[in-house]
Amino acid sequence: MWLLRLLAVVLVIAVGVGVVLYAFTGRREYLAFSWRLLRYGILFALLVFALMFVERLAIIPV
């Protein structure tokens, strides 16, 4: 779980750096890169949460 938290922090930092670089340079590539990172990060988080939910459902009480 600590790895997922670390990846989330790195993702937030990377998106923030991309937005700041866009603000300073005006190059839309940085904004597009940040947006792409954010989308894939959210998709990955939803996938992990779905797997955790399925794992919770798969436990059959005896």
pLDDT in tens, 42-51: 999 999 999 9
pLDDT of residue 7: 93
User: In this predicted model, what pLDDT tens digit does every residue of 17-45 receive, in sequence order?
Assistant: 999 999 999 999 999 999 999 999 999 99
pLDDT of residue 62: 57
pLDDT of residue 5: 93
CB-based contact 11:41 (threshold 8 Å): yes
String of b and e for 11-41 (b: at least 16 CB within 10 Å)? beeebeebbebbeeeeeeebeebbeebbeeb
| pTM summary value | 0.80
Q: Over range 9-20, report the average pLDDT.
A: 96
